[in-house]
Every structure is written in C-alpha cells, then in structure tokens.
C-alpha cells in the first residue's frame, strides 16, 4: 500500500539532458515514457503535478552564445527547444491516460496554449498535468528560474529537481570519488558553498517564498513517488537544515 504523499501540489523540474537517455542528442522516446510513468504514479496517489523541462538536449542558449551567437537570440532558440520537449512529454503522458496541457510563455497558438496563470491553476484544479514551456519567455533567465517562478505562481508545496544523481554533493560524484553528499541544506548553504544545484535567482525566489527544493535522481524507477511519500533518497533544501 502506497503511503500518503507529503505534498498536495508540486512542480517537477527535469533537465533536457535527462530526456536523451543513452543518446548523445535529442529525445529518447523510451526515456520520456519512463518519466511519464513516474508522473502518472504521482497523479494516481492524488498529487497535483506541473513540470518545467529544460532544452539542453536540443539547444542550450549559453552554449550558442559562447560560440559567438547573440545571447538573446540564442536564449530564444533554447526556449523553442523546451517547447519541443514539452510536446514530447505531453504525448507520452496522454498515451498513459494522463490529461495534460502545455502552456508556453511565448505564444504559439497552433501547438499549445499561451501561459495565463489563472488558466494554469484551473487546469491543475481539474487534475491535469501542466507543462510550462519556453522558460519565463525572457532571455537571460534559465529554466531553473522559470521552475521557481512557476512553482511560486502555482502555490506549489515543493519544487522537485530530477537530476543525474541522488541528491546534492560537494562536487560532481562522477568525477570526485570522495564528494560529500548532503541530506539537508539551507538556501544560504547552497549559495555560500556555491553548489550550483540551481542558479542563484531560482534559489533566491524559492527562499523568499518558502518553497523547499528537493533534489533526487530522475533515473531511479519509482524515485519520484518515493520522494513524494518521504521514502526516497534525496537532498532537501529549505530554511531549516
């Protein structure tokens, strides 16, 4: 019997790279399906879920800017990549019977709805999974900041960041064998230690609005629901460590 979830409404932030699976680029359909099944498990136990997905598997604005592209244009290209990922996730979720809406910060009415906060809240109240695409709609802001912003606007109880590892470490555990893993951190710990879990704007926004950030591995089967019920391996970032 599944335990009762600790949160009623959450935002799940997934990097674009997480959708690549074992590919070097693009969208791995099997990986998207697996993440969609995780989300369905969460909705099945009564959790309202919304998502922000990055675009790094297709195009990353900072990388384009580093190669000489004008930064704002590169960032807009990155936002379009997040729309592609959002549509892929919507397709997977709906194949599993999960009602879903994609809301884009950049209006593109032929493929998805424009982002309107009240409309997004209403979708969630009706039990739909809402996928927020195109970041904040502004260049120079990451999808991490978009996740913190949308979590605040939706009145989420927590922001869950699905990563490549099972929490926050003092260094990349794939490169540093004795990297320290943290169970709990304060927002200020993250900033002071420069842990780069999320960018500083996202951390500050979550801190100002009292939204805990929970970092866990998106690659562990059942990991999302386990974290929601308090059983999963994760790092919790909040005011009290």
**Residues in CB range of 22: below 8 A, 6 or more apart:** 28
238, 222 in Cβ contact below 8 A? Answer: no
159, 209 in Cβ contact below 8 A? Answer: no
25 is in an annotated binding site: no
136 is in an annotated binding site: yes
The single-letter DSSP state of residue 70 is -
141 is in an annotated binding site: yes
216 is in an annotated binding site: no
15 is in an annotated binding site: yes
182 is in an annotated binding site: no
56 is in an annotated binding site: yes
37 is in an annotated binding site: no
55 is in an annotated binding site: yes
CA atoms within 13 A on the CB side of 204: 4
16 is in an annotated binding site: yes
> What residue spans of the chain are helical by DSSP H?
29-44, 61-66, 71-95, 117-125, 143-153, 187-192, 200-208, 223-228
**Residues in CB range of 70: below 8 A, 6 or more apart:** none
Nearest partner of 82 among 27, 9, 140, judged by Cα: 27
Q: Residue 67 CB: number of other CB atoms within 10 A?
A: 8
The CA distance from 51 to 42, in Å, is 12
Tell which phi-psi region holds residue 134, choosing left (phi > 0), alpha (psi between -120 and 50) or beta. left
Work out the end-to-end distance of the chain between its first and last CA atoms, rounded to an integer number of angstroms: 30
43 is in an annotated binding site: no
22 is in an annotated binding site: no
78 is in an annotated binding site: no
76 is in an annotated binding site: no
- Known binding positions for UMP: 55, 75, 136-143
- Known binding positions for ATP: 13-16, 56, 60, 163-164, 169, 172
- Known binding positions: 13-16, 55-56, 60, 75, 136-143, 163-164, 169, 172
């Amino acid at each position: 019997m599944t335990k009762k979830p600790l949160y009623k409404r959450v935002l799940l932030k997934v990097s674009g790279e997480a959708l690549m699976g074992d590919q070097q680029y693009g969208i791995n359909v099997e990986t998207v399906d697996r993440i969609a099944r995780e989300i369905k498990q969460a909705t099945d136990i009564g959790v309202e879920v919304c998502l922000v997905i990055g675009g790094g598997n297709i195009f990353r604005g900072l990388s384009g800017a580093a190669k000489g592209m004008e930064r704002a244009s590169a960032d807009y290209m990155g936002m379009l990549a997040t729309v592609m990922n959002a549509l892929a996730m919507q397709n997977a979720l709906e194949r599993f019977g999960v009602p879903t809406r994609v809301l884009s910060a950049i209006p593109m009415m032929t493929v998805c709805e424009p982002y309107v906060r009240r409309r997004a809240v209403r979708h969630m109240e009706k039990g739909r999974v809402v996928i927020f695409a195109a970041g904040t709609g502004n260049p120079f802001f990451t999808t991490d900041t978009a996740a913190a912003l949308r979590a605040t606007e939706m009145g989420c109880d927590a922001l869950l960041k699905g990563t490549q590892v099972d929490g926050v470490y003092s260094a990349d555990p794939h490169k540093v064998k004795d990297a320290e893993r943290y169970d709990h951190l304060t927002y200020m710990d993250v900033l002071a230690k420069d842990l780069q879990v999320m960018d500083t704007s996202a951390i500050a926004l979550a801190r100002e609005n009292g939204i805990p950030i929970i970092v866990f591995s998106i690659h562990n089967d059942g990991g999302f629901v386990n974290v929601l019920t308090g059983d999963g391996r994760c790092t919790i970032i909040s005011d009290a460590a």
